[in-house]
Structure 1
Amino acid sequence: FTCNCHFLLFFYVIAVNYYLAIIPFLSAVEAGFFGQLQHEIEILPPEELRADFCYSIADCRSRIPKLIDAWKAYFEYLLSTEQKSDGPSASSFSIEKEEALHYLWEAHVVSIAYAVPKFRNSLKYVSGPEASFGENWANAVDFIAATHFSADLQNINYFQAFLPPRMLSESDQVSFISDFSPEQNIVLLSLCTLHKANKLTGGTLLLLWRMAMSTEAGRAVVRSLVEKLVTGLKFDPVGI
């Protein structure tokens, strides 16, 4: 028995991202984000695994209403900010951005929570370290989401350099991978440790983290800390 592990990993990534791309798109259509469209939108189904996805607003709403509602709320909020007649001040823009990030990450987490378990079996065909990284990253998203991280192009382009540049193999030992940078090894180890700690506490660690991130001040402190850690700057716990 042989398998194309690269293809299976590719399928896993595409399948999960379907719920982070197509579902938001259909939700935006339902929210009226693109205005009044003359025709209904329907995604062409694949030849195989048709039952793993939904393809229209009605289809998705009947099968995954929680996901549709979460993404629709995000786009409805964006529309509500555009409809305000008075020009936004710097402070109001900051508040609106923070609120938008709240809706965005809430929807993102709901999609991940649904898609990852649904396609988890695909990970058994890739290496153990690669499968573990997939699970560790999905766990980390919950923690990242709580900080309302600004997932714009500039931030994503910068921070993705600290993630693995290739698939992990069975011979890769986390934190000791020779062709990874020291930062990439540290991030891999950190993601693994975070996931283990959250599992050992039965999810209590994430609960406490979300409580700590319940205020903008708390989120700002953590975002600043993360930026300083990854850029190699010295961290001063008093003068963050």
Structure 2
Amino acid sequence: MKSFSLKCLCVSSLLLTNIQFVIMSQSHTEATNNIPHWDGAPASLADYPLRQNHTIIDPWRYLDRLGLYKILLNVTSSDATLGRANNTANILWGLPMQLGWQFSTGRLQDFTNETACGKNQTEVVRDNEWNCISPWSWWGSMNYFLSVVPFLGALEAGLFPHWPHGFTFLASLSQPEDYCTSVLECRQRYPVTMTNWEDFFLNLYDPNITEPQYLIRDCDDKTSNLSPREQIIITKMWVAHTRSVETGLALFDGTRLMFMSKPEQSFDLGWAHLIGYIAAANFVTDLNTTAILQMRYLPKRLLHSGDTPPLIPDLTWDENMVIYILRMAYNIDQKTGDSLIHEWQRLMCSPESRAKGRAMIPNLLNPFTTALNVIDLLWMSFTVC
């Protein structure tokens, strides 16, 4: 029975290989073009202003926050696993890709309508409205714990040992008490979140690591699609990512969501809930994978009152179905005490089943393929786990 399951896994691995071939057809430049103003973001700490021997970073400016991601990508590019393929294999690419999508779809704006922050998507001089992230944006506030806090975790882990200056992160002008702006403050207020990100970065640069393989293996390899080190790094990244989302949900669901339309609120909660599913599968958020899936599945605009998925006329079928599925999965888990996600997490019990889970995600909207994958996963739960 075990060999039958592994044969099925080989078939799915071939399918995933084909998907990856399509994904890898995008160049680095084409993929980063999906991140607005990527070339204009700071590429090093020296690109931020220096005052009184402190590097000044304003995380409420889109370019400043985007620069944190570019610097983290640059500083981890020499890692044996993350830095391969001209750093496009780096799993940190999922973070700036998400921020860029939030920016381009207007999800970083002031939803109280008290200011014009984030409402103008063109580069105008007036108040730098285009370059503004509002603390009254649910997405912008949630992303704070996926940008500033990871950067401070990297700082604490020693990734910038030769930088001679201190750091000052400017506080939000609204609700500053919701955010931490230094290693000390973040460690005091959100100790588990900070520890998780520091732990992720501490696992990089191990001099004993010699494994160059990444993701796809030959079917003769019956153990896993990820090398042992990849599993460690990706698991620790998702632990930190999930904790950041949980931290943000506890702070912002009652104070930020209310300013958006009901369909957008439902989508936002469904998207946050999705993290638990993709984290359990150790999904690989490299540059090209993230770019392709994001362009295909994520809605290109905010959802408005009256939008009813899967029948929103100006969104694609893929976008409609993703919105609908996220809402349905979230509602099921809300009504059943998270029974659906707990079952999924139970099925992600082995390297083989996690590989199957990763293969399922790009094909989720294909009902025939999804049904076969679910059957195979159930078989694995009895034979492999």
Give the whole-Å Cα distance in 2 for the aligned partners of 1:18 and 1:9.
Answer: 9
Partner of 1:58: 184
Distance 1:47 1:229, change over 3 A: closer
Q: Which shifted more, 206-215 or 58-67?
A: 206-215
Partner of 1:127: 261
Distance 1:186 1:9, change over 3 A: farther
Partner of 1:203: 338
Deviation at 1:37, TM superposition (A): 3.7
Distance 1:89 1:155, change over 3 A: closer
Q: Which of 310, 324, 335 lines up with 1:189 in the alignment?
A: 324
Matching of residue 140 in structure 1 with residue 274 in structure 2: yes
Give the whole-Å Cα distance in 1 for the aligned partners of 2:361 and 2:174.
Answer: 42
Deviation at 1:11, TM superposition (A): 2.1
Matching of residue 87 in structure 1 with residue 221 in structure 2: no
Q: Which of 113, 129, 132 lines up with 1:4 in the alignment?
A: 113
Deviations 1:142-196 (A, max 9, x none): 1111111111111111111211111111111111000111111111111011111
Deviation at 1:21, TM superposition (A): 0.6
SS of corresponding position for 2:181: coil
Deviation at 1:36, TM superposition (A): 4.5
Give the whole-Å Cα distance in 2 for the aligned partners of 1:20 and 1:169.
Answer: 26
Q: Is the 8 A contact 2:152 2:182 kept in 1?
A: yes
Distance 1:9 1:200, change over 3 A: farther
Give the whole-Å Cα distance in 2 for the aligned partners of 1:201 and 1:233.
Answer: 24
Q: Is the 8 A contact 2:153 2:194 kept in 1?
A: yes
Partner of 1:112: 245
Partner of 2:311: 176
Deviation at 1:32, TM superposition (A): 0.7
Give the whole-Å Cα distance in 2 for the aligned partners of 1:164 and 1:207.
Answer: 27
Structure 2 runs not aligned, ≥5 long: 1-110, 120-133, 215-223, 378-385
Aligned partner letter, 2:313: S
SS of corresponding position for 2:322: helix
Give the whole-Å Cα distance in 2 for the aligned partners of 1:157 and 1:64.
Answer: 31
Partner of 1:47: 173
Q: Which of 195, 204, 219 lines up with 1:78 in the alignment?
A: 204
Aligned partner letter, 1:190: I
Partner of 1:224: 359
Distance 1:192 1:9, change over 3 A: farther
Q: Which shifted more, 200-209 or 31-40?
A: 31-40
Q: Which of 274, 282, 286 lines up with 1:152 in the alignment?
A: 286
TM-score (normalizing by structure 1): 0.88
Partner of 2:152: 26
Give the whole-Å Cα distance in 2 for the aligned partners of 1:28 and 1:116.
Answer: 23
SS of corresponding position for 1:160: helix
Matching of residue 100 in structure 1 with residue 242 in structure 2: no
Partner of 2:37: none
Aligned partner letter, 1:156: T
Deviation at 1:50, TM superposition (A): 1.5
Distance 1:51 1:71, change over 3 A: same
Q: Which shifted more, 66-75 or 8-17?
A: 8-17
Deviation at 1:214, TM superposition (A): 2.5
Deviations 1:101-154 (A, max 9, x none): 100000000000010231112111111000111111111111111111111111
Structure index of larger Rg? 2
Aligned partner letter, 2:186: C
Distance 1:140 1:179, change over 3 A: same
After superposition, the CA RMSD in angstroms is: 2.6
Instruction: Select the structure that is richer in helix.
Output: 1
Q: Is the 8 A contact 1:146 1:213 kept in 2?
A: yes
Q: Is the 8 A contact 1:27 1:69 kept in 2?
A: yes
Structure 1 runs not aligned, ≥5 long: none
